[in-house]
Amino acid sequence: MFENLSSRLDRAVKNIKGEGRISEVNVAATIKEIRRALLDADVNFKIAKEVTNEIKEEALGQNVLTAVSPGQMFTKIVSDKLTELMGGEMVPFSPKGSPAVVLIAGLQGSGKTTFTGKLGLRLKKQGQQVLFVACDVYRPAAIDQLETLGEQTGIEVYTERENKNPVEIAQNGIKHAKANGKSIVVVDTAGRLAVDEQMMNEITEIKETIAPSETLFVVDSMTGQDAVNTAKTFNDRLNFDGVVLTKLDGDTRGGAALSIRRVVEKPIKFISTGEKLDNTLDEFFPERMSQRILG
């Protein structure tokens, strides 16, 4: 991931190196190249423009007659800007309540159920008593998939195969968790292939009824700007707490990771990098990610 962006930015910043001072003239070509690199990484045009303008202003506003070389200073400005773009401070996943309730939302195929399995395993390893609740009333295969994940992770799965009311299933699941000493409930919901009104109404109703401590929106990072737009549509209705970016292992460009935070104004909380359950889920640290980009 970010390979292309990384080498392009590295090259752009090297243009500046060797210059005695940063000036309007020598910064212009570099800024242009950074903007192109961001656009090629599938960052949306408005953001690429804003960010590069901000980098330019900062670079020109700095006093470069210091010990730091212009190249190093410029690298730092770009790196700090990318960190800020991806959210600045890391925002932890910290569900509260007893049991704590976590609601998982997203389109079908985004990696929701896989993420539910990964999150459950992570929480279990932290000593939590986890319960999964299967609320996809449209696709029996989705319930089967969650049950398989339950077997693989040793986590109980609450299902009501005959019940077609996901709100009731979620409520009953939470009751079951309380009665059985579970400390955290992860509610997996139905997704569709595209955003539709019925799905939005359903997930909004589930959220209003069960009042989760954390609502996470799962999205496939490989879909780039579509991921950003879908996240915005969901957030406008659902007001979720954080984003989970999946399939980062297959995302060579990185546009969703770079721009989702600024467009949606919600933090990325987790990144998922593979189909295996173990060791493929990480919390998202904006600074580490920008260091990965700028070396």
Tell whether residue 252 is a contact of ligand GDP (CB under 6 A).
no
Consult the annotation and say whether 97 binds a ligand: no
Strands 214-220 and 184-189: unpaired
* Contact predicate 69/18, CB 8 Å: no
**13: alpha, beta or left? (left if phi > 0; alpha if psi -120 to 50):** alpha
Q: Which of 44, 52, 79, 110 contacts ligand GDP by CB under 6 A?
A: 110
**Shortest reach from residue 80's CB to ligand GDP, in Å:** 28
Residues pairing with 105 in the sheet:
217
Tell whether residue 274 is a contact of ligand GDP (CB under 6 A).
yes
- 177 CB contacts (<8 Å, ≥6 apart)? 99, 131, 158, 185
Tell whether residue 215 is a contact of ligand GDP (CB under 6 A).
no
**Shortest reach from residue 61's CB to ligand GDP, in Å:** 40
**Shortest reach from residue 277's CB to ligand GDP, in Å:** 10
Q: Which of 109, 205, 229, 232 contacts ligand GDP by CB under 6 A?
A: 109
Q: What Cα–Cα distance (Å) separates residue 9 from each residue in 4, 191, 202, 257?
A: 9, 37, 43, 16
Which residue, 70 or 212, is less far from ligand GDP as judged by CB? 212
Tell whether residue 277 is a contact of ligand GDP (CB under 6 A).
no
- The residue behind tokens 């109404």 is 201
- The residue behind tokens 């721009």 is 259
What distance lies between CA 139 and its chain's CA centroid? 25
Consult the annotation and say whether 192 binds a ligand: yes
Judged by CB under 6 A, how many residues of this single chain contact ligand GDP?
Answer: 17
Tell whether residue 272 is a contact of ligand GDP (CB under 6 A).
yes
Copy the structure tokens of residue 22: 């940063």
Consult the annotation and say whether 111 binds a ligand: yes
Tell whether residue 259 is a contact of ligand GDP (CB under 6 A).
no
Query: Of the listed pieces 56-64, 126-134, 273-281, 285-293, which binds ligand GDP according to CB under 6 A?
Result: 273-281
Q: Which of residues 173-202 bind ligand GDP (CB under 6 A)?
A: 191
Alpha carbon dihedral 168, 157, 130, 104, in 10-degree steps, equals -60
Consult the annotation and say whether 113 binds a ligand: yes
> Residue 111 has what DSSP assignment?
S
* Contact predicate 222/41, CB 8 Å: no
Residues pairing with 106 in the sheet:
218
> What is the per-residue binding string for ligand GDP in 218-247, x denoting contact by CB under 6 A?
----------------------------xx
Binding site for ligand GDP (CB under 6 A): 106, 108-114, 191, 246-247, 249-250, 272-275
Q: Which residues are annotated as a binding site for GTP?
A: 106-113, 188-192, 246-249
